[in-house]
Structures are given as structure tokens and as C-alpha cells.
Structure 1
Amino acid sequence: MITLTYQYKLKPNKQQEADINLMLDVCKSVYNYGLRERKDWLNSRKSPINSCSIVSEYIIPADTPYPNYNHQAKNLTIAKKTNTKLKSVNAQVLQQTLKTLERAFSDMKYLGKGFPRFKKKLRSFVFPAMLKNCLGNNRVKLPQLGWIKIRQSRQYPDGFQAKQARIVKKATGYYLMIIFTSSESAPDNPVGKKSLGIDAGIESFVATSTGKLIKSPKFLLSQLR
């Protein structure tokens, strides 16, 4: 499968801009709430058996399961039924926020990265699935936002299907990053009988593993003569 990511600048109207900012704010709240829940659970397991902290104490039952992604996603579905703020944002967008938090903890465990931090601001969120016939001339149709104008600086790739979209807020405005996929697979590199190592040298333009040195062709100087 071949995957391409194209970036376009968004040109939202006032209502769409307000909706985007609301999504960013709610996603930030969900991320920070999920992080606090995990942090409290971990701290509750650090308290000694025979003593309590004089600063604070996390009273969480011993049989309470660790709040991983599946646990938090289930609670999110329940909370959306009564919380009007959560209701206002696409459910898949909020689930992707929890997946981002899950990935941060996974990177901490397996890649040695630092403990996840609370977010003062959230710069982006993801629509994991695109709508049918969502691509138009200078516009894209997104869940909850509807048709939104873009500055189509390049044509959509032929033979590819839009699979996922991310909205990013930058200092220069809002941007849309669309992931396109194709069922075609990239051909494997042909395996030859011999291999050759090539290195860009300082004194020579190219040095090969066979000891051959190639001087710089100096195309510009040859054309100026």
C-alpha cells in the first residue's frame, strides 16, 4: 500500500472556525482528564502499605483496573450521554485524542521518552475516517464541519483515496493534512549479484567502495565558459 500526505490551507467561515476552536478545546480537556486519571492511578500504587503521605493520598480501590485506552474510551461513551460539551464534538475525534495519550504512554515505556505532560494548548485533532465523495474543487467535506474551503495548491493524487484528515492550527492559520492511500504496492528493489557503496566525499565528488574517485562535474562553470 502506498500512502501520501498532502497539506492544504483551510479557509473556514466564522462558524467553522468557532467549531474548530471548540474541538481543540474539548480534545485538550479529554487529553488532560485522561492523563490525570492515569497519573492518579499510578500514584495510588506508590503509597507504602504501613504509612500514608502527609501531603496527599490517592484513595483508589485496589481492584480498580488500570485506565488504559479501552477503559477510558468506554467511559467516554458513557460520559457523552450526559455531558453537553462532549456531545458537541465528533466521537471519533475524541477517541483519537485518547489514542494519542495511549501512544504517549507506550513511547514512554518502550522508547524511553519522558512522562506525558498536561497540555496548555492543543494544536491539532484527527478525523480517522473520511466521508464519501468528500473531495471537491477548492473544498473538502469533513464530519461535523461540512464543506469547508481550502486553498488547493496542488491537485489530489489520481488513483488514491482520502482515508484520514488532520486539522492543524498554526500561527499563520488553519491547515488540513489529508492522508491518501492506494491499493497499489511499491515494487521491491531488484536484487543484483553485486553491491556498490557510494559516499559523497570532500576532495572528490563521489567515492565508491571499489576505490574509484569521481571528480565534481562542475556543470555551472562549464556552461559559463
Structure 2
Amino acid sequence: MVDRCSLEKEYILSPELKFKSEIQQLNNLPKAKKEFPRLSEVPSQVLQQTIKQLHKGWEYFQKRGFGAPRFKKFGQFKSLLFPQFQENPVTNLHVKLPKIGAIPINLHRPIPTGFMVKQVRILRKADKWYASISLQCDVSVPDPMPHGHPIGVDVGLEKFLATSDGVLVKPPKFFKQLQSKLKLLQRRLSRKKKRSKNYEKQRLQVARLHHKIDNTRKDFHYKQAHALCDAGDMVFMEDLDYRITAKGMFGKQMLDAAFGQFRSIVKYVCWKRGKFFSTVDAKGTSQQCPECGEEVKKDLSVRIHDCPHCKYKTDRDVAAGQNIRNRGIKLISTVGQMGKETACADELPGAGVIQSRQVSQPRQGKTRKPKK
């Protein structure tokens, strides 16, 4: 499937001809270097990884039936993968790459003792270059087991997150704050002549602003994830597909909050710090009383949970976080995962003094709130 043709020459292939396999195209690389001498300037392993990446996209296209791999025009191919090295290419000041040489880098942290560099991927974001270094070490890292103080986290648009301990964090709205500036830069870009130097300068300004929004949002997510790990030992979140909600009427707000990225970051930070992370069923977390378990129906306009059965009253999002926490405790207290049945987190290893009726007592360290 070809969506464009070359201005110089084009290969006419029979429609009955099968798509060449990965091994065939890898074997044709030496012939392609003779026909196109500029390919010899690129390291051979980088070309091989590009062919493998193409075939992964082609197999994925054949599997689902749509999304054919597209040609990459100038500037769209933004990463290079160097899969292996004979010796450590990274020093405190440089990274040495084949056929490129030593490139000055800003190494933000040294490579730990006992680890070896497995591969290096060079990424281009806006007008900056990054080196993603993959390390290898023969060590087995066990998954964290349930223990200690549990926290349920409910995310939303009015409050970015609400924990079962009563901590509320306002949404920062990074995209909305810079939307007017982005609109101005994009309007200027639309008036530039394409492929001109002024067009390229303006395109970089738009890319830098997008990159700034992405970095500030990700930094906020990491700080909140570490704050959750500081406040508890077990973190539970809802098992939701945020791609569906991002297509609704609040799609821009959902994409600005990036709840899917936040959940992935929380999961990674919990694993890194030895905290237990799990997701629970999200059905009816805001319509159930965390104290008595009775159903209390309320519209989105009602922001206070007031149970008529047990008279328990709290913030709607905090109640949802408590329901998430209770479901998480019930999930890990089964015989299959814990080896014993418990009604609350009191009997979990490392758990402190916890109040009755599955209401956990918050720790002294609270989740950090963003600056106003």
C-alpha cells in the first residue's frame, strides 16, 4: 500500500508479489548501500533496527486491519536506536556512538555499579536531543506485597485527585493556562510559507511550547505520585479506560489532566519505592456509602456525600476514594493472594493502628498540594 510516488523513479511491482520478509530486507541492506551511498553514513545496526520497526508496524497493521505504516517525511523520524556496544559508551561528559563519535551530554545521574549499558536510543523533542540509556543487571526484583497503610485515590476534573485520607489537590490545567499563547503562535505559523526558514523557526516555537506543557504536566504527576507513596504503603486507583472519556464533551480537559499517564506513573513510582499498587472496579464508587455500604444516588452537581442510612457526611470525591480503598482491601484480603482472610487492613503485615469500620487513620505526612 503506497500513498505517494517518487519524482525521480518508482519501482513497479506486481500486485501478486508478497510483502518481503524481515530477513529478506535485512539481507538486501548491502545492495541498498551500493545503490544509495548515503546509507553508508548511517551505522548498520541503526538501519537494521529501522527495518525491524517497520515490520512491527506492518504486522500490527495486518493484525487489526487498519493503520497502514506511512512514509516519514523530513523531520518526522525522530529516534535512532543503537542496540549493542562492545564497551561502555557513557562517561560523565560524553556518550560515544558508532560513526558519530563522542557527543557531550548532561548526565543527570551516574550509572550504578554492576550495571552495563544495553542499548541507547537518541530522541528528538522539539529542538532538543535526549539519550535514553537502557541498563542491564542480573538481579531479580520481587513485586511489592500488600502491607501497611492503604490509600484510595479518586481522580476527576473538579479535583485532580482526592484520597481516602481527605487530601484534595486542585487540577493545575497546564494546557489551558498556555492555550492563548499557543493559539497566537499557531496563527503565526499558518501565515508562514511552508519549507521556508521563517516557517521552520515558527514551527520550533510551537514545538517548544508543546514540549514545555508536556514536561510541566509530567513533573506534576511524578511529584504527586511520590507524595502518595509518602502518605501510604498501598495505593489503589480505579480501573478505567480514559481513552473513551477523552472523546466526550470534556475531551480537552481530560487530555489536559492526562489521567492515564498519571496512573502509569503512580504504578511505576510505587514499584520503584516498594509500595503496593492495584486497580479496582470503578462501578458505583461515587454512589455507595463507604461507611455502611448502602447505595446513595446523586447527580454530578451534588458534591457532598450525605448518607441517609448511617448519617455519614463527607466530600463526594473523598467518599469515592474511601470506597476505592475498601474495595482494594477486600481484593487483597482473599485467600488466593494473601493466604488468609481479613476484614480490614488491621491484620496486614506492617499495618499500624487503624480505626474500625474500615476507616483508616491518616498519617502525619500529607500529600503535597500545588502552589496557588
Q: Given that residues 41 and 99 in structure 2 are in contact (C-alpha distance below 8 angstroms), is that contact kept between their aligned partners in structure 1?
A: no
After superposition, residues 130-145 of structure 1 pair within 5 angstroms as: 130-145=85-100
Is 1:146 the counterpart of 2:106? The answer is no
* C-alpha distance in structure 2 between counterparts of 1:99 and 1:80, whole Å: 17
Output the TM-score relative to the length of structure 1.
Answer: 0.61
Cα deviations across residues 89-143 of structure 1 (Å, max 9, x unaligned)?
A: 1111111001111111222234566222221221111111124132222111111
Question: Which of 4, 9, 14 is equivalent to 1:60?
Answer: 14
For 2:83, give the aligned amino acid.
P
Is 1:155 the counterpart of 2:110? The answer is yes
**Higher strand proportion (structure 1 or 2):** 1
Q: Given that residues 93 and 127 in structure 1 are in contact (C-alpha distance below 8 angstroms), is that contact kept between their aligned partners in structure 2?
A: yes
Report what 1:186 is aligned to. 141
Displacement after TM superposition at 1:72 (Å): 1.3
For 2:115, give the aligned amino acid.
F
After superposition, residues 31-110 of structure 1 pair within 5 angstroms as: 39=1, 59-60=13-14, 62=16, 64-110=17-63
Is 1:119 the counterpart of 2:72? The answer is yes
Secondary structure class of the residue paired with 2:132: strand
Q: Given that residues 164 and 178 in structure 1 are in contact (C-alpha distance below 8 angstroms), is that contact kept between their aligned partners in structure 2?
A: yes
- Identity, % of aligned positions: 32
Instruction: List alignment gaps of at least 5 residues for structure 2.
Output: 3-11, 153-163, 165-317, 331-342, 345-357, 368-372
* C-alpha distance in structure 1 between counterparts of 2:113 and 2:64, whole Å: 37
Secondary structure class of the residue paired with 1:86: helix
* C-alpha distance in structure 2 between counterparts of 1:146 and 1:59, whole Å: 40
Cα deviations across residues 22-64 of structure 1 (Å, max 9, x unaligned)?
A: xxxxxxxxxxxxxxxxx36xxxxxxxxxxxxxxxxx65174x4
Displacement after TM superposition at 1:162 (Å): 0.4
For 1:76, give the aligned amino acid.
L
Moved over 3 A (4+): 109-113, 187-190, 215-221
Output the TM-score relative to the length of structure 2.
Answer: 0.38
Is 1:216 the counterpart of 2:216? The answer is no
Secondary structure class of the residue paired with 1:162: strand
* C-alpha distance in structure 2 between counterparts of 1:185 and 1:220, whole Å: 32
**Against the structure 1 CA distance between its residues 130 and 113, is the aligned structure 2 distance closer, same or farther, given a 3 Å change threshold?**
farther
Aligned residue pair count? 161
**Against the structure 1 CA distance between its residues 216 and 145, is the aligned structure 2 distance closer, same or farther, given a 3 Å change threshold?**
same
**Against the structure 1 CA distance between its residues 220 and 179, is the aligned structure 2 distance closer, same or farther, given a 3 Å change threshold?**
closer
**Against the structure 1 CA distance between its residues 113 and 152, is the aligned structure 2 distance closer, same or farther, given a 3 Å change threshold?**
farther
**Against the structure 1 CA distance between its residues 174 and 217, is the aligned structure 2 distance closer, same or farther, given a 3 Å change threshold?**
same
Higher RCO structure (Cα 8 Å, ≥6 apart): 1
**Against the structure 1 CA distance between its residues 183 and 83, is the aligned structure 2 distance closer, same or farther, given a 3 Å change threshold?**
same
**Against the structure 1 CA distance between its residues 117 and 158, is the aligned structure 2 distance closer, same or farther, given a 3 Å change threshold?**
same
> What is the root-mean-square deviation in Å for CA atoms of aligned residues?
3.0
Q: Given that residues 130 and 164 in structure 1 are in contact (C-alpha distance below 8 angstroms), is that contact kept between their aligned partners in structure 2?
A: yes
After superposition, residues 195-210 of structure 1 pair within 5 angstroms as: 200=152, 201=164, 202-203=318-319, 206-207=325-326, 208-209=329-330, 210=343
The farther-off stretch of 211-220 and 157-166 is 211-220
Displacement after TM superposition at 1:178 (Å): 0.9
Cα deviations across residues 134-176 of structure 1 (Å, max 9, x unaligned)?
A: 2222111111111111001111122110011111111141111
Secondary structure class of the residue paired with 2:28: helix
